[in-house]
A and B are shown apart, each in its own frame.
Chain A
Amino acid sequence: MLSKLAFRNMKRSARDYLIYLLTMTLVSALMYTFNSLLFQNDLKAYWNTEGMLEAMVALATIFIVLITAWLIAYMVRFMMEKRSAEFGIYLLLGMKKNTLAKLYLRENILLGILSLMTGMSFGILFQQILMAVLFSMLRMDYHLHIALHPGTILMTTLSYGACYLFALSRCRRKFKKMNIRDLMEAGRRNEEIKERHETIKQLLLPLSILFIFLFWTFFGSLATNGDTILFIIGLVVTIYLFYIGLSARIICYVRKGGKMIYQEQNLFLLRQFSSKVRTMQFTMGTLTALFTLTLMGSSFALMFSSWQNTLSDHKFPFDILLYSPDPADDFAKEIQFLEKSVSVQDAYPYRIYTDGDDQVNAWMLTHLTFWGTMYQNPDGSPDMTGIRQMLENESRYCTYDTYMGLSDYNHLRRMLGYDEITLSGKEYALQVKPRLEKEVQHIGDDLILAGADGSPSLSCGGIYAEPFSQDGHNGGDYIVIVPDRVLSRMYPYYSELALDIEGSAPLGLRDKLSELRYDKTNDLMFEGNDECPALKGNRCYGSDIIFVFNTVNEVKEDLRTSLASLIASLTIPLFYIGLVFLCAAVTVLSVQQLSDSAACRFRYDILSKLGLKEAEIHRLILKQLAAYYLCPALLAILISGKMMLFAGERFVMATGVPLSPGSFFLRSIALFFGIYLVYFAVTYISFCRNVTGGESRS
C-alpha cells in the first residue's frame, strides 16, 4: 500500500514540480556526459594532459554534488511545507511519523530514479555531442559511436546518489518534530507581513549600492590578497543586505504615497515584489551569488576557448621548427629522418646570432608592461646590476641580445606567406610577438645599434608583429633583423631548422623527434663552452604567461592537439559547473513563483473582479515575474562584471587575443540569458495557466 501511495504521490509531484524534475534530469544528463570523459574518452590517445582533465572533472563533480544536494534539500523542504496539510491528514489517520518519513523518502527517491534514468538516456546523446565538439576542437573527424559504459553509469549513479544522501539525511529528523495541529493549520495560515524599522532598513540599499560603486572603483587596484579577500567578504554581505534594503525602500516608498503607486497596477506590483523579496531575501542572496559564479565560470571558459581558436596559429606558425643549442648544427640527421616521415616542401636551416651585448634585452626589461618597474632604478633609469643578474640566472630572455640576418628572415617570411621586407644598409628591423606590437612602438627613439664596422649607425626601420614563433626559437619576445653584412661582426648563437611540409604532420611526430634528438638537445642545453662565451644562455621562452611552451621540437600538429586538450581540460569543467549552478538556481526561482501561483490566483481573481482585463492580468504577471527574475540576474552581472572586465583586461594583455576585454563577459551574459529565458518562458506560461486557466466556480 505504502509503495502504491508513494508512487502516486511521486507522479503528482512530478507533475506539480515539472521544472524541478526537468532540471534534475538535465543535471544527471550532464553528469553522465562529463563523467564519460573519465571512462569513454576516444581522444585519450591524443590527450596530452597527464590526467589533468580527469582531475578537473573530479573536482567539478564535488562542486556539482554540493550544489545539487542543496537544490534537492531545498526542494524537499519546500514540498514538505506545501504538503503539510496532507501530512497532517496522514498522521490524523494514524500513520506513524516513521512511516510517513519513509513514505516521503520513498517518493523522493522514486523521483530521483526517474530523473536519473531519463537523464542518463539523454546523457548518451549529449556525450556524442560533446565528443563531436572535442574532436572538432582538435580538427579531427568524429564518427558516432554510441555505447554504454558501466564505469560512467556507476560514477553517475554514485555522484547522483551522493547528492540525495546529503540532501535527505536530515529529512527524518524534520518529521519527528512535526505536530498534527501545526501541520493542518500551516496551509491556512496567512502570510504575515511584519514591517518593522523599515526607515532604518532602507538605508541598506544606498549603502550596498555605495559598496558596489567602491568595488568598481577600487577592485583593480587592490594591493594585497588580504584586501581582496576583505572586499570579497564585503561583497557577499552586500548581496544579502541589498535585498533587505530593497524591500524596505519599496515599502517606505509605498507608505509615503509615492507618485508611481497611483498609476495603473503599480501599487499591487510593488507590494507583491517587496513582500516576495522580504520573505525570500536569503534565498535571493544565495541565487545572486550562484549567478555571479556562473557568469564568471562561463566567462573564463569563453576566454580560454576563444583563445584556443587563435592560440595554436599564433604560437606555432611553422609546420615544424627545431632548435639546436649548437651554433654549427647542420640538422642533417633530422632532415633525413623528416624526409622519410613527411612530404617536405622546404627545409631551411639557419642561425641566430648575438653581439654579446644586452642593450635590447635591457630595453625590453625596462619598457614592457609585463616587467613593470622591476628593473628600473627609482629615477626610472635601467638597473643594470639587476638586469645582468636576471639575464644570467633566469631563462625568460637569452643572456645576450638575439639577431637574425635579413635574408634568413625573408626566407622564413616567405615560408609563412608574409611579404618580404627591405632594409637600407643603415637600418635594423624588430620582429616581436603580436601582443607586444603597441608596447615597442618607440624603441627606435632609444636604440641605435652598431653597424657592420662596429660604430653605432643602425636606426629602426620598422617593427613587425606577425606570429613568428618567438618562445625561444626566433628569440624570446623579439629578434632584431639586420642587414646580412652586419652579421660578420657577430657570433652564431644557436641554430634552427624550419620546415614547410605538405598537408599536416602525423600525430606523434614530436615524440619521435624528441627521441631522435635526445642527446643533442639534452647535453648542450644552457651550457656554454667556456672558450666561446656567446654560447651561454642561448635558450629562453619569453615573457608569456598562462601558457608557456618551452619546447625545442616544435611540431604544429602535435602541439595544437595538446594545447586544445589542455584548454579543454579547463573549459569543460568550467562550463559544466556554470551550467549546473545556473540550472539549480533558476529552478529555485521558478519553483518559488509557480508554487505561489495558487495564492496569486486568488489575488488575480480579485483584480479581475475589480475590472482588470485578461490581457492586463497577463501583462501584470509578466511584469511581476520579470522583476523577480531580473533582480538577482542584474545584481550578479553588476558584481561579476567588474571582476570579469578586470580579468579580461589582464587576459588580453597577457595573451594578445584580438578581442576586447568585455566581449567574453557579454558573450557569457548572452549564454546565461539564453538558458534563463527558457526557464522564464516556461514559468510564465505555467504561471498564466495556473492563474487564469479554467473558470473558477464559487
Chain B
Amino acid sequence: MTSYIRVCDIEKYYGTGSHVTKAIDRLSFTVGKGEFTGIMGSSGSGKTTLLNLLATIDRVTSGHIYYENTDITALSEDALSEFRKQNLGFVFQEYNLLDTLTIEENITLALTLQGGTKKDIQKTCDRLLKLLHIEEIREKFPYQVSGGQKQRCACARALANDPVLLLADEPTGALDSFSSRTLLETFTDLNRSLGATILMVTHDAFSASYCSRILFLRDGKIFHELIRGEKPRRLFLQEILDVLSLTGGELSDAQ
C-alpha cells in the first residue's frame, strides 16, 4: 500500500505565556491509500486536535503534513479552502447539517460548491441518496429525521466531492447501537468497494473494531498501534479492549 498521507514530526501548542498546553507532541505516522484508520485515546489525548490538523481546519505549531506531494502546512488560507473543497470529506458527531436546508438540499449545496451543471448535480445527488439509503427522506428537514439518518446524510454530503480522504470525528457518538452498526458498515463498504481512505477518531472500541488499523494516542503521542490484518472483527475488538484495559482506557465503552 503506498503511503498517501505523511505526518512528519508535528507539534501543536495552545495558549500563550505561562498557560501553554501541548496537545500534540512530535507525532509522525503515515496513512496508506484506501486505508481505514482509527485513532483512539481518552479525552484530552489530542485525537480531535490531530483530526483538525489533518482536516486543515487548524494549523500545526511545527512539523509538516503531506498529502502525496502537497505540504498542507505551507498553504495559504485560500489555498487550504480550495484543498478542502477538492480533497476532503467530513463527518462529525453532531452531524453538522444545515438546519434550514432539507436532506437533499444539504447534499445539493455541497455539490453546487464543487461546480457543475444542474443535470450532473441532480444525478450525483440521486446516486448518493441511493448509496446511503436516504432517498425516502430527501425532502425532510434535519429536525424531522433520526440521528442515524442525519449521519448518513452527512456521509453522503462528505462524499459529494469524491474525497481522497474521509475524516470522521466520533461519527457514532450520538447514535444508538443499531444506527451505529449501519453507519460503520456503510464506512466499511465505502472503504472496500470505492477504495475510500477513511480516518476516524473514536473512543469507542466497538466502532474502532471496524477499522483496518488503529493508532492509540496518549498525551499527544502515539503509544501503540494495532493492525487488523485478516483477523475477524470480534478478535480485533478483543485486542483493542486488551490494549485499553492495560492502559486504563475506557473499558466501559466495550460493554
Contact = CB atoms under 8 A, between A and B. Distances in A.
Residues of A in contact with B, size category: 35 or more
Contact of A265 (B82, B96, B109, B139): B109
Given A262-B117, A610-B113, A698 B77 contact: no
A98 interface: no
Interface string B19-46: 0000000000000000000000000000
Contact of A254 (B78, B86, B105): B105
Contacts of B118: 257, 259, 262
Q: Which of B14, B81, B86, B121 has the most CB of A within 10 A?
A: B81
A273 to B, nearest CB: 9
Contact of B82 (A605, A613, A695, A697): A613
A615 interface: yes
Instruction: Describe A's contact surface by its main secondary structure.
Output: helix
Contacts of B162: none
Interface in B161-199: 161, 169
Given A271-B101, A611-B84, A193 B141 contact: yes
Given A267-B105, A609-B96, A611-B86, A192 B81 contact: no
Contacts of B90: 609
Given A261-B108, A609-B90, A267 B85 contact: no
Contacts of B108: 261-262, 267
A177 to B, nearest CB: 25
Interface in A262-286: 262-268, 271-272, 275
A268 B101 contact: yes
A614 interface: yes
Contacts of B143: 190-193
Contacts of A265: 109, 112-113
Nearest to B141: A193
Contacts, number: 96
Contacts of B230: none
A139 interface: no
Contacts of A610: 84-85, 109-110, 113, 157
A603 interface: yes
B74 interface: no
A606 interface: yes
A264 B169 CA distance: 27
A71 to B, nearest CB: 27
Nearest to A262: B118
A608 interface: yes
B66 to A, nearest CB: 20
B255 interface: no
Contacts of A697: 14, 58
Contacts of A695: 58
Contacts of A275: 100
22 contacts: A190-B99, A190-B143, A192-B141, A193-B99, A193-B100, A254-B105, A262-B112, A262-B116, A263-B112, A266-B112, A268-B101, A268-B109, A271-B98, A271-B105, A603-B98, A609-B90, A612-B113, A613-B78, A613-B82, A615-B78, A697-B58, A698-B48
Query: 8 tightest A-B contacts by CB?
Result: A611-B85, A613-B81, A190-B143, A611-B84, A262-B118, A271-B100, A275-B100, A267-B109
